[in-house]
Every structure is written in C-alpha cells, then in structure tokens.
Chain A
Amino acid sequence: MVFTIVGPAIIAGTANNDAGGISTYSYAGSRFGFMMLWVLLVNFITLAATQEIGVKLGIFTGKGLAALIRENFSIRWTFFAVATLFIANGAVTTSEFAGLAAALELFHISKWVTVPVACALVFFIIYKGSFAKIERFFLFISLFLLVYVVSAFWSHPDWSEALRATVTFSLPPDKEFFLVLLGVMGTTITPWGQFFIQSYVVDKGIDPKHYTIEKFEVYFSAFFTCFIAAMIMITTKQVLFDHGLLVNSAESAASALVPFLGHMAKTFFGVGFFAASLLGAFILPLTTSYCICEALGFEHGLNRPFHQAKVFYTLMAVLIALSGIMVLLPVFSLFQIMIFAQVINGMLLPVILIFLIILLNRSQSLGLPTQGKTASWIYNIITWETIIRLILVSILLVVFTLFPGWIDVIVKYWVHI
C-alpha cells in the first residue's frame, strides 16, 4: 500500500525537476551556499497546498483548471489567464530546448544542429502519437536525479549548518539574490504544473473516494521535489561554493558531481540533463495547447487528426518553433535562458494562484464537499502568503534593476533594522 503511493510520488517528484530546475538550484547552491535552503522549505509547504487544491478541484468537479476558469470568470479574465499561461509556458518550453542544447554541447554538438532537429522531432513524435510509448522511458531516466542525494551525503556537509539554514530566513538586499529567489520559487511551483496536476487527475477519472490517497501522494511528491532540490543545492554548495566556483553553464553544473562520479560525471549529467529536458520539451507544448484549447473551446486531443483539431496542433507547432528561435538568438547564454524562464514563472505564478484560490473559496458552488473552517483558513493563508511574497519580490526585483541607487538607500535602513 505504501509503495503504490510512494512509487509514483518519487517519479513525479523527480520528473518535476526539469533542466531549468536543476540549473536554478545548482546556481543557487554555488552562488549562495546554504542561504536559499529556507526557500525550499517554504516551497514544500506551498507546493503541497497548491497541488492538493488542484487535485481536489479536479477530482470533485471532473474539470481541468482552464475549464473551471472559463466557466467561472468573465471571458476577459479567461483571456488574461490564457495569455499568462502562454507566456510562462513559452518561457519554460524555451528553457527545455535550451537544456537540450546545453546537454548536447557537453558532447560537443552545436546548438545549431540540436535545436532545429529537436523541434522537428518533438512535434513529429507528438503528432504521430508515439509520445505515450516513450514517456515511460524518460520518466525512468529522470530518476538519475537521485544521484544528487548520494553525492550530497558523499560531500560530507555540515548537516547541522544545513538544517539551521533551512529554518533561518535570510534576505540580503542583493539584486541577484532576489532574482535567484524568484527563480527558485518559480521553478518548484509553476503555472504549468498547477494546470497539469488538475488535468492529470481528471484524465485518470479518479474517483472522489480515492481523494485521501491522492492527497498523500501529492504531499509525498511535493516532498521529494523539494528534497531533491535541497540535495542539489547542498551538493553544489559543498563542491563549488566552498571552493569559490560558480555554476554558469551545464559544464560547471556537471562538475558538481565530479567528486562522486569522477570522470563519469560529465557523461552521466549530460544524459540525465538531456532526458529531463526532452521530457519537458514534450510535456510543455502539449499541456499548454491542451489548456488553452480547453479554455477557449477548441477541439483538442491527440486522438484527433490534424484537420479536426487545427488550433490544437498549430498552437503546439507555434510554441515549439518560437522556443527554438528564442534559444538560437544570440542574446542570452543557454544557462541564462534557463534561469530567466524560471524567474518569469515566478513573476506570473501569482496570477494563476489568485484564480486558484478564488475557485477554492467558491468550492461549494462547484460541487465540492464542504470544507472545515480551519482547512479553509490554512489553504487561504498559505496561498495568499505565496501570492503576496511573489508579487513583493517581483516588484523589488524590478525596482532594484531599474533604480540600482535605491539598493543603497534600503541597505542603510536594513542595517539599522
């Protein structure tokens, strides 16, 4: 019984950490050491809560988040939600293709070869419907992330220091800290993930009587996601931060595994990173197109041929093509793309969370079972806290970027407090 929950939870937990996640956590660990561990603890609480809300809404209404938004908010708000999702998911899709390119660059294959081939391949495989067959294979490969758990222990960190950092709130007035903070928050809890978990339970047709089991599966997978993230941060802190080394590429990220894996590190990391990116490259366009078509009422579904679901397939193709182009543009490095995508996620997440919590508060009218007052309070507090936190950090980040002089002003006051 335990295994039927824990098994899928581990897989969901590891698959949740895509290339963008690995990059962001690696960077955070190498740049700030243990200072961001507390964010992961907060992320765990928020992720568990928001995923549970998604599961609850999905199981009891039998509808996806996009459909619920369409049926409960005005058409203008629906469009706003759809646009937000498109931008956020577009950024993540771009980051997945960037991850693919970065992984293969480790093996000296140019991104100019990787990206066009990958774009064409991904669309072709989705269209032919073969994704379902290979999905399991890639999910299996994502388990490679468990190597970070071992290497974290291997690196002999000071566990008491790490645990202390997990419960210590530190917020240096550093512009870069805010940026990475937003990235770490946006990579664990994502707009696409919120839509995905609800669609997932609806598609599986999960019975309301299995709600409690699903709830615990969600808690476990949220825990694993954040646990793996913590292990990545600890590993990079020990191996890189302590030696003054910074992660700014796939190569330097891979080097965090060298003490444990030796010269196999680069290959191992490359393969795993590639698989995680490819999985994301399939899932993101698919879930984006699904949700947008669901909200706007276009036919969707891989069981439909192209001419019956033109918008569905075209949207996917456009998203993949745009992402490919963005990756190839010589504006940002591949690594920067991956981190920025997570920052965009973090900035746009409040929008989706606001829709989510409003829907939860309307749960009576949607057909959900009555919720206890305490439960309702807890969900609302956690969600609204996250929303406010994300908005504040986003605003501060924008302010600090546009008006760097203000940092000095605030630092002075900070020091006084």
Chain B
Amino acid sequence: MLFVSQFIDVPLVDSADIVAGRLIDFIARPGENGYPHILGIAYKDAATKTEKSLSYDSVENLGGDEITLKTTLQKAKPLEVLSSDIWIKKHILDQQIVDLDGTRVVRANDVRLGISESQLHVLGIDISARGLIRRLGIDKFGLFSFMKPLFIEWGKVQVVGKSLKLTKASSELVRLHPADLANVLEDLNPKQSVQLIQSLDPVTAAKFFQELQPEHKRDIFKSFDQTQLQGILAHLPADEVVDYLKLIAKDDRHQILESLGENKKKVVEEFLHYADDTAGGLMTPDFIKIGHTITVGDAIAHIRKVSKSYRTILFIYVVNEKNHLLGVVSLRTLLISNANDPIEKVMKRIKLHQTVQPEASLKDVATLMTRYNLMSLAVLDHSHKLLGAVMVDDLLGRLVPQA
C-alpha cells in the first residue's frame, strides 16, 4: 500500500543521478467521478532552495528511499498548477474531514495512493491510529501490525476547512439523511458548518437547515449573505421560517420578512404571534384542504397537482365555503374509494372536541392525538375556521428536542 507520508521529504534523483531536491507535496486534480489523479509533485529545489513543481509524467519510480525521474532535471516537464488543484499535504493531511459513511468528523492522518491504468490516484484517507504511528515514522518491524488501518474511500469523504472551496460538495453528502448531517455539523465549528452548507445547493441546504439545533441555525445564518439566505428561505416551509424568525432579534426579522413571497409572508406574519409551546406555535400552514363539494377523483387529481409543495401528506382536510372544518380524509380512503364518490360521503366527520384552538398547551395536543390516534390535529380559530395542523413528527420533535 502506498501512502503519501512515505514520500514526503524523500530525495528526488534525476537520470544523471543528481539530487534535484526533496518532495514536498503531491498535486492532484479532482476527476469528474472516482478518484482524483496525481498530476504532479511539488519539491524543494536543492540548488535554489525554492518550491517548484513537476508533472508526474516525469517520474520514473516512486520509492521510499528516493524518487527517480525519467530525464535530467532540465528536461523534466514542469506542471501548470491551477488554483483549483488539491495539494495533498497542504490541503488534506492533518485536516478535519467528514466521514460520510460513519457520519462523523475525523482527522486525515494519512492519504492512501494507488496505481490504476498506469496513473497514480488518491484512493482514500487513513483515519486510524495506525496512520498516526506511520506518520511518526515508528511503524517498523511489524510492531504495530495488530493495529489495523481504517480507510475511508475518497467518494465517502467530504473535506472541510481550507480546501472545501476546492472540492464541491460530494454527492454522498447530498444523499445523507438530514438528521445524520446535522449530527456531523454539531461536531464542526460554526465556521466549518457555514462553509459546508454554503457549498450545497439551496434545496439541499434548506433540507439540512431544518435538522439543526436552534443555536446552530441562528449562528449559521448570521454568516450568510442576503441572496444565499433568501435562496434557502424560499425552500423552507412556512413553519420553519416562523421558528427561525423567533430565534433572531426583532429588528432583523423585518428584513427577512420583506424578502419572502407575498403569500408566505402573510402566513409567516400571522403564525409569528403564537407562543412556542402552544398548538399555535407548533402548527403548520402546510396541509392540503379541499372544498366539500368535490369528488374523490377531483381530490386525487388535486393532490397530484400540488403534492410537490408539501412536506408530508397523510390526510387532507375538507372545509366548507366559510373555511369551517367539516371532516378529514386519509390517503387510504382516497385510494380505495370510487372516483365518482362525493368527498362528503367518504370523509370522516370531525367533531369540535377532536380539534384544538391555538392557545392549547402541548399536553392537550399530545393527549388528543393519542386518544383519537391522530397523525395530525386540526387547529381552529375562535370562529372555528381552519388555521393550521399539528403534525405528529413536529410534536415528537418538541417533546424530545435532544434527539
């Protein structure tokens, strides 16, 4: 196995057996997929004592004692270094990285190289204690063979810190469950978390933002500029925006409210009035409601049309012209019913005592949802108009916040 640590500071010898210098670093260029390949090496020139770089094509043999070049130093091919290139020792070694498999933040103790199709590639990162031993130069005589190296292959690595700008957010990162990523973010310091989220597209960023702890949300958003902020807020459901606004100072709220779309702004402003630990503070305006005169078929067609804008759809609420809640229909009912059945026939009528008003306590909400086996609880205002719905996962999140 080839490791970067084995070659740092190793002398470079050209074809005339002259020592050209000592290896400082490997320079890699990220490929479109797979492993970055080593383009060249940086070395300290023995004659001028300055840093220079060579194309990897000039290297004949990579050895632990010396690295031989194919030609003399003068004839060796130089390297055009781009600012987007990754310098392994400078940017990756000893830096913090995110292990996307284990969803944790660790340090790169060593970097593993491999040859495939006669090209040298970065295979992965050694995060084990064995890697540390090797770096210390004491991994000799098989003393430490009981310690196994632990590799994370390059695809499962997300570099944070200095080099984050160089490697765009790994596709694996985007596929992480938001809660797992939130876990990872808690291990990073605020600066690194910001960089990480900024490297994501707005939709993914919004998805992850929702999983953060309140203090993190506030800290992270402080570092975003207006456009980035608006981009993420546009993809956040209204109730998340409300929760966020409650975290920040009143003076800053106005600016954010102005940046929202008209509809969203109205909803958010209204919802801001409710206290956190009441039904009003917990409810979401994001639920589907339909008129009572339509058929099952119409309802299904409507859901198909609007489903993308909603986070969770388990039930749809049926209201009359005055927005009074009449009943609720589950998706199951819609699936098994006849398309021509009027919705009023298949819906389950909701009685007043199965709803709450915005001032209801969390305990009342939980009691009702448990007693009537409800996944979502309708919240009515004082004139019995449908205001919002409390979703069971939001309730759980409030009851077990540290999860």
- A residues whose Cβ falls under 8 Å from a Cβ of B: 61-63, 67, 70-71, 75-76, 79, 202, 205, 207, 296-299, 301, 303, 308
Contacts and interface: CB of A to CB of B under 8 A. Distances in A.
Given A75-B94, A75-B132, A207-B222, A202 B189 contact: yes
A71 B132 contact: no
B219 A70 contact: no
Nearest to B402: A303
Given A71-B95, A205-B190, 13 more contacts: A62-B189, A70-B94, A71-B94, A76-B136, A79-B136, A205-B215, A205-B219, A297-B96, A297-B107, A297-B109, A297-B132, A299-B105, A303-B186
A296 B189 contact: no
Interface residues of B, number: 24
Nearest to B110: A75
30 contacts: A61-B191, A62-B190, A62-B191, A62-B192, A63-B189, A70-B94, A70-B107, A71-B94, A71-B95, A75-B94, A75-B132, A76-B136, A79-B136, A202-B189, A205-B189, A205-B190, A205-B215, A205-B219, A207-B222, A296-B129, A296-B132, A297-B106, A297-B109, A297-B127, A297-B132, A298-B129, A299-B104, A299-B105, A299-B106, A303-B186
Contacts of B189: 62-63, 202, 205
Contacts of B109: 297
B187 interface: yes
Name, among B94, B132, B135, B136, the residue most crowded by chain A CB atoms within 10 Å (CB to CB).
Answer: B94
Q: Would you list the 4 A-B pairs with minimal beta carbon distance, nearest first?
A: A297-B107, A62-B189, A62-B191, A75-B135
A331 B191 CA distance: 49
A388 B215 CA distance: 43
Contacts of B137: 76
B190 A296 contact: no
Contacts of B132: 75, 296-297
A164 to B, nearest CB: 48
Contacts of A71: 94-95
Nearest to B135: A75
Interface string B254-274: 000000000000000000000
Interface in B78-123: 94-96, 104-109
Interface of B: 94-96, 104-109, 127, 129, 132, 135-137, 186-187, 189-192, 215, 219, 222
Contacts of B219: 205
Contacts of A79: 136
Nearest to A297: B107
B356 to A, nearest CB: 34
A67 B132 CA distance: 15
Nearest to B128: A297
B136 A75 contact: yes
A315 to B, nearest CB: 12
Contacts of B222: 207
A241 to B, nearest CB: 49
Nearest to A207: B222
Nearest to A79: B136
A298 B108 CA distance: 11
A303 B105 CA distance: 14
B107 A296 contact: yes
Nearest to B108: A297
A75 B131 CA distance: 11
B254 to A, nearest CB: 21
Contacts of A298: 129
A70 B132 CA distance: 12
A297 B129 CA distance: 9
A219 B351 CA distance: 65
B10 to A, nearest CB: 15
B156 to A, nearest CB: 16
A75 B96 CA distance: 14
Contacts of A299: 104-106
Contact of A301 (B187, B192, B215): B187
Contacts of B96: 67, 297
Nearest to A64: B189
A71 B95 CA distance: 6
Nearest to A308: B104
Contacts of B129: 296, 298
Contacts of B106: 297, 299
